[in-house]
Amino acid sequence: MLLGIAEAMSCGLPAIGFDVLGVREQIKQNETGVLLPYDAAVEEIAAKMEFCVEHKDVMGKKTAIQSEIYHTEKACKRIIVNIDENIARRGEK
């Protein structure tokens, strides 16, 4: 999880990032932000920024909802549940 993306989403802002591992798992293309190819030209980056500004209200609502899964307390609880489930599975063997 990239903290900058999670923080933008928690403020209701669409995120812009490169289509690389980690980023593509956080940003839903054209819903919570935009993904760019790693070798994107400046003009393409500018166009995606304009897209985000033009669709800020619609995308912002979705980012606020999406950001909830990155809330620290919720993330920690999910980790604990996963650990408990893995321990229980090991005990079943």
3-state helix/strand/coil string of 4-32: HHHHHHHCCCCEEEECCCCHHHHCCECCC
The total number of structural domains that make up the chain: 1
Task: Write down the pLDDT at residue 93.
Answer: 62
Indicate whether 61 belongs to any domain: yes
Q: Which residues of 42-76 are buried (b: 16+ CB within 10 A; e: fewer)?
A: eeeeeebeebbeebeeebbebbeebbeebeeeeee
Domain-embedded: residue 60: yes
Residue 37 included in any domain: yes
| Structural domain includes residue 85 | no
Whether pLDDT at 1 is above 70: no
Length of the chain: 93
pLDDT of residue 4: 85
Indicate whether 54 belongs to any domain. Answer: yes
Q: Which domain holds residue 10?
A: 3-68
Average pLDDT, the chain: 88
Q: How far apart are CA 27 and CA 47, in angstroms?
A: 17
